[in-house]
Amino acid sequence: MIKKIWILTLFPEFFEPLLKCGIAGSALRGERSDENFKFEVHCINIRDYSTTKYKSVDDSPFGGGPGMVMRADILRDALMKGVVEQGGYKSKEDLRVIYTSPRGIVWDNLVARNFGMNVLSDPQRDIVFICGRYEGIDERFLENYVDEFYSIGDFVLTGGELAVMVMLDSAVRFVPGILGNKLSSEADSFEDGMIEFPQYTKPREFEGTEVPQVLMDGHHKKIEEWQKSEKIRLTRKHRPDLLK
């Protein structure tokens, strides 16, 4: 099956490097999964659905205040014409519409894993990300068309594009069949509530520091014990909040 990810944005070019580079790029280009499951990413420029003379997509907020608000009618048309109609869906209910915003569920490794395993891998519904810009989006579009909200942290980005990229990059690793070496995602930071143990490679000596001897002895049980104690040491040093 082909799992389509639609991205509604004013800046489709933001996504070019993500789609071009690295593991996430090849996964999202559909080159990393098996025959039964492939991603296809489509960026839709919201501006193409503007009906105004100068192709604007926003206007000043009723009630006053700074900044501009993205119009509900233009976003609706981008979603319904650009995705539902163009994608050949029966209705909007065939899609999971996601808006990235500070009001959303806060993203962390657990949320990312659940998203990768159950949302990105869900054969039933394709995904639409709405990337907001300016001061926000008319609330009526969010109420009528958005199913889920996610925040990548308690800070404000100038737009949702980076949040969508963070979500895709960190969740795609959990889609079954995407990461060649499953053990590598299991050893990654946060998988057991701690950060990763330190890693070393050639050269054996760097600026006067040797690779820890235990890693050179080939004694697997001792190496495992060392890695475990190093995890605790580094977590206590860098992220003591995780040990509580």
Q: Which stretch binds ligand ADE (CB under 6 A): 21-29, 100-108, 171-179, 225-233?
A: 100-108
Among residues 1, 66, 124, 156, which is the contact residue for ligand ADE, using CB under 6 A? Answer: 156
Q: According to the binding rule CB under 6 A, does residue 111 interact with ligand ADE? A: no
Helices (H) and strands (E) in the chain, counts: 9, 9
Among the listed ranges 29-37, 57-65, 122-130, 150-158, the one in contact with ligand ADE (CB under 6 A) is: 150-158
Site for ligand ADE contains 97 (CB under 6 A): no
Residues designated as active site = 102, 135, 173, 188
Under the criterion CB under 6 A, does residue 160 sit at the interface with ligand ADE? yes
22, 153, 177, 193: which one contacts ligand ADE (CB under 6 A)? 153
User: Please, what is the minimum distance in Å from the beta carbon of residue 167 to ligand ADE?
Assistant: 8
Please, which residue, 33 or 100, has the CB nearer to ligand ADE? 100
Residue among 152, 171, 137 at smallest CA distance from 104: 152
User: How many C-beta atoms surround the C-beta of residue 65 within 10 A?
Assistant: 10
In sequence order, what DSSP letters do the residues of 183-214 get, joined into one string? HHHHHSTTTTSSPPPP---S-SEETTEEPPHH
Nearer to ligand ADE by C-beta: 6 or 37? 6
How many CB atoms sit inside 10 A of residue 215's CB? Answer: 16
Q: What is the DSSP letter of 38?
A: E
Among 41, 163, 179, 195, binds ligand ADE (CB under 6 A): 163
Nearer to ligand ADE, 171 or 194 (CB): 171
Q: Got the DSSP string for 139-186?
A: HHHHHHH--EEEESSSS--SSSHHHHHHHHHHHGGGSTTTSS-HHHHH
Residue numbers of the site for ligand ADE (CB under 6 A)?
Answer: 100-102, 151-153, 155-157, 160, 163
